[in-house]
Structure 1
Amino acid sequence: MADMATAPYRFIPIEPGYVQAAPVKREDIRFDKPLAEGSLSAVIDVEWTAKTPICVGAKEDTSSEVRPLKIGKRYCLPGTSLRGMLRSAVEIATFSHLGRINSSHHHGVRDFAGMGDYHSVKVGEVKAGWLKREGGRWRIYPVRHRDARFVLVPIDSLLNTLSEQNRVDFSTWQTSMSVAEKYAQLPPVYQMRPNKYFYALEKEGKGLPRACLTRDAPGSSRTFQSSTHPIKDMYVICTGPYRQEATRTSNPRAEEGTPKKNEALFPGPGITGYLIPDAWMDVFHGMHSEYARDGGNPRGAWRTWLLAKGWQDEFKGFKASSDEEAIPDCMREEKLGIPVFWKGDIANLENIDPDDPPAPGLQSFWFSLSRVMRVPHGYSVGDVAGRLYSEANGYHLPRMSEEDGWDFARAMFGEVDGANDSPERAKPGKRADGTRREDAQRGRVAIGFAFAPENTRPESASRRGVFGQPRESFWPFYLRHGDAVADGILGSDRTVSYSSEAAVPAGRKRTVVRSAEAPAFPGGNGNENTETNVRFLPKGTIFTGQIRVHNFHPVEFGALLYALTFGVEDGSLWHQLGRAKGMGHGAISPRVTIAKCDLVHSPDDEAAIGNNSSVSQWIGHFRDWMNKQMEVRDLPAHADHPSIKMLEAMANPSVGDTMAGQHKLDTGELPDFKNWRDVSGSQDGTMSGPYPLSSPLDLS
């Protein structure tokens, strides 16, 4: 198919419902006794050649650029990075668990025109309230007005009240200033103090009324008057540096609108507070935080308000920063909560069990820190992934002792139960000895550092640009319609949003290797905070290292060798590692030598493997075993399965070079992603559009 969109990565499809158990039972794994099914210990020498410039490293304390890791006098590739790279390949090649996903997370979308039955946000129906933390629970108090109304205040009129020393221009206020910075600039009379005057009505009867702040004396004839909206005791409410207003556009799917021109005026909180379920607050918090397994570290205006009220520790995952911005005292007002905008039937919250609420994305009610509301999609990441495994309650990585919990990747590399789980599931169960420690399995493969020669030098200049890519919230790339999977994994090529009952993951994300890096990095939108300086080691750098395995089953050894080479010994299929993979950097070619292999005994007398077997023979043994397992499930042979064919195609630089030459691997700019989303399908998930990315299999 012709590309509707471009991206440097593609998705390797997941075989629905198939998790291949390891060839050895967990209870049989010992470190002091050979496996009964066949056992070997080995040393593998690996020479990695950088086919494009590479950097695996971090910023140094005194540097503004990311530099490659150096130990002593030699640059190197960390063993942990190589381990993660190889484990990812093993997971795909052996149909192991999907594993490391943020199952409980709900992605959100800023909605302007309405996203179906639950997401609709109509401009005139957005109301005002105050979010408070009381008695260990969260409540929203609608503002003290019969219809919970608020009034808009033009930014121009706010700026006119600023003193000369605090004067800022419209564009700076509109797009750059944080909530705390805005309140710090306001005159004291408008710093979260109730006002009965100083505003004049504008455009009554034409949508939401606007009140212009003035410097007139109390009692001025310009005092605000309205028959339908609040008229006194209002607080100036500033929101973050958003660029848009919540207005309907000509394109019903567009997430654009007009440039933001207004802040707001809220009455104080009313007397009735409505309880918000903790599960919904966790979703809201996750949508405004940087996710981590132990919770989420809040960001932006949400972080500022939590710190201002002293509520930052009410959620797991808060991490203090040494450079927190100053918070004006006015934001700490004890009588007031956090100003929020809300929509829907708030009174219906009284009919919801707060300890067992329905999915937040399937409700008419929601709230936001700005009038341009970010509402949750209908289904979480786990809900969508669970459909691949017929799990009605969403996908969660099972414990190793549970059904389908024992796979190749865990058997070979080890695992700690709960290490990659959501916070609510990451609680150790009671063990046989009465303790509540997490169950753990020690890995049997050790991957050492791979070192470059001492005379290796980085490139003379660093490279600067934006290396970020759309995250999994960008559903046109990350999701497919379930029928596309059911029709043969790559059949129908359709996509839908996280609000669709038919959505499933498009697959495991992986960049396509190529022999030449992109000539220039994307510049982004001019925000220096999103740009990174990186110093690379040059193309042609050779790293040497070792991998040791202990008490491996012969099939596991073949699986590891396949993950290293993708089934070929000549190094013609490559991995990628480090920074700027999406720009073609970090391509590395393996040269693998079995330095030592002590096979205690073969799994059967007919096995064509032994201490002197070649890499290809071990890989063949692995593939023969996999073919038998897949035949039982009426699946294609391992080499013919679409997932494996896609993996090998994406590791083939000739495929990547062809795609790059056709601009299929280009990184899009922000307007491109909006256009790609709009042509991919309707946001409400009831319709589907064509999947926008072409397949490398079309070229391999």
Structure 2
Amino acid sequence: MSIVTSSYNFVPLNENVCFPEWADAVSQDVPLQGAVSGVIELNITAKTPIFVRGECTATQESGHQEFSFMRHNNRYCIPGSSIKGTIANVLEILSFGKLQKVNDHRFSQRDWENSGIYDKQSFARENKGGWLYYDEDEDDKCYKIDYSTNSIGRIEHKVIDTHFKTKFQEIFGEEFDPSVTGENKSALKKYKLLHDKKLKLENAFVKIPKRERFEQQKYKIHPNEKDAQSGTLVFSGQPAKREYKDGEWQGKNKEFIFWEPDAIGVKVDDRLIEDFLFAYYDHDPKQMTTDWKHWREVLANGGRVPIFLQLDDNNNIMHFGLSMLYKLPYRNRIKDLIPKGHLLEGNDFVETLFGYSIDKESNKGRVSFKHAFAVENAQELTPKTLVLGGPKASFYPFYLKQKFQHSKTTQINGTYQTYDNGATLAGRKRYPIKHVGDEETIKTAFSTTFTPLKAGTVFTTEIVYHNLLPVELGALVCALTFNEVEACHHGIGMAKPYGYGAVAVALEMDENVRRNSILAFRAYMESWWIHNTLSGTWSKSEQLKELIAMARFSKHRKKLAYLELEEFPKVKKAKEALPRFTHFLGTEPLVYPTAYMENINQFVESEKKRLAKAKRIVDENNATIEAKKKQDEIDGILAKGLTSWISEVTSYGVLKEKMNAWLAMRNDQIITDETALESLKSIIIQIRNKKAPRHRKTFFNENKRNDLIKWIGSEAAEKLIAYFNQ
């Protein structure tokens, strides 16, 4: 039985991106021909309890926060920006737009379940030890690393205890509890054991004689020995307690020695620093480790941080981390896995309607969303405490498109697609609509307490649109109504993964304007679809099918729950992944009303005929142009004469080819011009004279005689042959 559950799924990414051809002409100030302006009134009804984050009402020492529902002028409200974002996300899918707001992160992994991307044995052997710091030099402000090209030394806890009179073996032995997180498992705790005794990390080390040939080389501290090497003790965290099994101790019992650097002041590429900081959650204080919180402070104060690093074949730094088995960056960044069409220049429907600001370019939107205020049944429920952190996109069994054994399974076919190979993103993430359950958790730094409003709360608002083409208004209406498919809902606010914020949206606008604009948008998209030679129809595309399936309430709530933390490694071990939503839940196929499909099919057929006719006309015009171009080229060659055409011929084979082409350009008219005949005679003389004297008499065989007759006629050919045979 599958162990896969997921509160989210993906709408497949479109390979082709639709760029409206009028996008560059839109403006707030210049009227578009046939454009319309007006107001759409919205009634938004919460079908499940809803929560939109307002003020923080309490922050506990652990970092846990509590929030009230958003209010404006003391009235419950949904900000216009939230509504705009929700509708923009749907429109992006419906209109086959670009994947917006993509972070170009490069994820890191320590995936020991997949030796193809992380072989910890060989990985550890390649490590070098170094020191990361920020150089404040006025002319060269950047991160740098000093490192040693020698292999990192190892030193046992018992050796450290013997020399420093510490208790590493006792503290990190059988009584050590790795389940207690924070400083307990950190390298910082080990540093404090020496720091509290005012002991120095810098020492001189000597090799301990090996008992076996292939035994790992270990060291001891011996500052007075002549052959001692200068180095620095470096600690990393303690992942687990030490245990005595099968006659020997198991678990981490050694630390590291970084030798004096022989590579000094090596500049670190900005991208490598970005990858390093991202891997250690520098952007998220709640997920930072105790060690990184300490080391980032050391860096900020001008200090040096011990790091493990690896070099490529050209001795360039490839990546680095804070432990021997640090997180290894994947080869590809997120944008490397996006279809190329999404990276093309141009504005899609979302940017054309709602505006954009990219670098120094910007354009105001022509659609304005006002705040939606609660007008009916607004009643607060009992506060809920839930973990609202987002899922990690680095989990490739879910976030990358996988190959499955068949359409009704979560078992992958073959090996996983990862960020290391030519994978494709699973798509645009959506939280399927579902009912709220009874989940709740304790108050921790990772949880949030919020007070939702009950299901049945009604909000009203307006959308003001200005200078929109009918096709653009139709795009907006179709995004609001999921292409007019019944029983579809938007998700608004926080806690959508738990079912909160499922809303039904009802529109009030002129019915004729609504109908005509929808038809205009549908016709445009179907035409674009055909023009891009995509199979099927836009209305029945995989993107719309998955979008609409996730917008309807599902009966399979248990399969739409967050995957528990301890289940993630099990998914990989079982070679499972997250299929498309319709395959995952086995939902019914998308069915449109009969009248809709009749209209679409009729339009598609007529559009195919129109495009075929247009293509035929274009092809005919192109053929005429090409024929004219070719004839002009022939006329130019003929105008220069045969002498120019065969002037550089040095062999009979080339002469035959050129003469046949010349006749073809003359429509098989033989050559009668005396000047042309003399040129041909001269070329033949040159070619014939290259032959040995004994072969010249037999030069004109039957084939060459026939060639001459074809080129200059039988009478002239016989005269020419007779001339040569004199």
Q: TM-score, normalised to structure 2's length? A: 0.67
What is the distance in 2 between the residues matched to 1:379 and 1:277? 16
Residue of structure 2 equivalent to 1:528: 444
**Cα RMSD, aligned residues only:** 4.2
Give matches, 1:211-222, under 5 Å: none
The one-character-per-residue Cα deviations of 1:146-194 (angstroms, maximum 9, x if unpaired) are 433233537996998379xx99983379732155565445444466532
Which residue of 273, 277, 285 maps to 1:285?
277
Residue of structure 1 equivalent to 2:7: 8
SS in 2 for 1:171: coil
Counterparts in 2 of 1:624 and 1:300: CA distance versus 1, 3 Å: farther
Equivalent AA in structure 1 for residue 354 of structure 2? F
Give the deviation of 1:261 after TM superposition: 4.1
Kept after mapping to 2: 8 A contact 1:126/1:371: no
Counterparts in 2 of 1:244 and 1:409: CA distance versus 1, 3 Å: farther
Residue of structure 2 equivalent to 1:170: 176
Residue of structure 2 equivalent to 1:407: 348
Aligned length: 556
Residue of structure 2 equivalent to 1:542: 458
The one-character-per-residue Cα deviations of 1:15-57 (angstroms, maximum 9, x if unpaired) are 21x111226332x223234211x21111111111111111111
Kept after mapping to 2: 8 A contact 1:234/1:267: yes
Residue of structure 1 equivalent to 2:479: 563
Give the deviation of 1:298 after TM superposition: 8.0
Equivalent AA in structure 2 for residue 132 of structure 1? L
Residue of structure 2 equivalent to 1:517: 436
> 1:153 aligned to 2:165?
no
What is the distance in 2 between the residues matched to 1:495 and 1:172? 32
Give matches, 1:381-396, under 5 Å: 381-385=334-338, 388-389=339-340, 396=343
Equivalent AA in structure 1 for residue 300 of structure 2? G
Kept after mapping to 2: 8 A contact 1:380/1:498: no
What is the distance in 1 between the residues matched to 2:493 and 2:299? 40
Percent of aligned positions with the same letter in both sequences?
24
What is the distance in 1 between the residues matched to 2:415 and 2:308? 31
Higher relative contact order (CA 8 A, sep 6+): 1
- The unaligned stretches of length 5 or more in structure 2 are 60-64, 243-248, 590-726
Kept after mapping to 2: 8 A contact 1:193/1:235: yes
Give the deviation of 1:7 after TM superposition: 0.3
Residue of structure 1 equivalent to 2:39: 43
SS in 1 for 2:505: strand
Which residue of 280, 305, 308 maps to 1:338?
305
Give the deviation of 1:285 after TM superposition: 2.6
Residue of structure 2 equivalent to 1:306: 296
What is the distance in 2 between the residues matched to 1:677 and 1:275? 37
Residue of structure 2 equivalent to 1:699: 588
Residue of structure 2 equivalent to 1:270: 261
Kept after mapping to 1: 8 A contact 2:332/2:419: yes
SS in 2 for 1:451: strand
> 1:368 aligned to 2:321?
yes
> 1:581 aligned to 2:572?
no
Equivalent AA in structure 2 for residue 441 of structure 1? N
Equivalent AA in structure 1 for residue 308 of structure 2? F
Kept after mapping to 1: 8 A contact 2:93/2:543: yes
Equivalent AA in structure 2 for residue 583 of structure 1? Y
Residue of structure 1 equivalent to 2:563: 668
Counterparts in 2 of 1:305 and 1:591: CA distance versus 1, 3 Å: same
> 1:457 aligned to 2:346?
no
The one-character-per-residue Cα deviations of 1:68-103 (angstroms, maximum 9, x if unpaired) are 101223111111111111100010000010121112
> 1:85 aligned to 2:86?
yes
Q: Which has the higher helix share?
A: 2
What is the distance in 2 between the residues matched to 1:71 and 1:302? 40
Residue of structure 1 equivalent to 2:109: 109
Counterparts in 2 of 1:132 and 1:51: CA distance versus 1, 3 Å: same
Kept after mapping to 1: 8 A contact 2:28/2:364: no
What is the distance in 2 between the residues matched to 1:409 and 1:644? 16
SS in 1 for 2:568: helix
What is the distance in 1 between the residues matched to 2:323 and 2:367? 50
Q: Which has the larger radius of gyration?
A: 2
Kept after mapping to 2: 8 A contact 1:150/1:267: no
Give the deviation of 1:678 after TM superposition: 2.8
The one-character-per-residue Cα deviations of 1:331-375 (angstroms, maximum 9, x if unpaired) are x7x5xx3111234x46x444x5xxxxxxx8xxxx54220123200
Give the deviation of 1:139 after TM superposition: 4.4
SS in 2 for 1:528: coil
Give the deviation of 1:202 after TM superposition: 12
The one-character-per-residue Cα deviations of 1:653-681 (angstroms, maximum 9, x if unpaired) are 1xx22x22xx3212111121111123337
> 1:445 aligned to 2:444?
no
Counterparts in 2 of 1:114 and 1:173: CA distance versus 1, 3 Å: closer
What is the distance in 2 between the residues matched to 1:530 and 1:201? 49
Residue of structure 1 equivalent to 2:31: 34
> 1:466 aligned to 2:466?
no
Equivalent AA in structure 1 for residue 499 of structure 2? G
Equivalent AA in structure 2 for residue 91 of structure 1? E
What is the distance in 2 between the residues matched to 1:495 and 1:621? 45
Kept after mapping to 2: 8 A contact 1:126/1:341: no
What is the distance in 2 between the residues matched to 1:155 and 1:464? 49
Give the deviation of 1:463 after TM superposition: 1.3
What is the distance in 2 between the residues matched to 1:643 and 1:107? 27
SS in 1 for 2:445: helix
Which residue of 503, 507, 530 maps to 1:631?
530
Kept after mapping to 2: 8 A contact 1:480/1:494: no
What is the distance in 2 between the residues matched to 1:14 and 1:244? 46
Counterparts in 2 of 1:75 and 1:155: CA distance versus 1, 3 Å: farther
SS in 2 for 1:89: helix
SS in 1 for 2:519: helix
Equivalent AA in structure 2 for residue 669 of structure 1? E
Residue of structure 1 equivalent to 2:508: 593
What is the distance in 1 between the residues matched to 2:240 and 2:31? 64
SS in 2 for 1:161: coil
Kept after mapping to 1: 8 A contact 2:9/2:580: no
- The unaligned stretches of length 5 or more in structure 1 are 212-222, 246-257, 312-331, 353-359, 419-437, 595-610, 682-688
SS in 2 for 1:503: coil
What is the distance in 2 between the residues matched to 1:696 and 1:677? 20
Give the deviation of 1:137 after TM superposition: 4.9
Which residue of 213, 228, 234 maps to 1:237?
234
Q: TM-score, normalised to structure 1's length? A: 0.69
Counterparts in 2 of 1:291 and 1:628: CA distance versus 1, 3 Å: farther
What is the distance in 1 between the residues matched to 2:145 and 2:255? 18
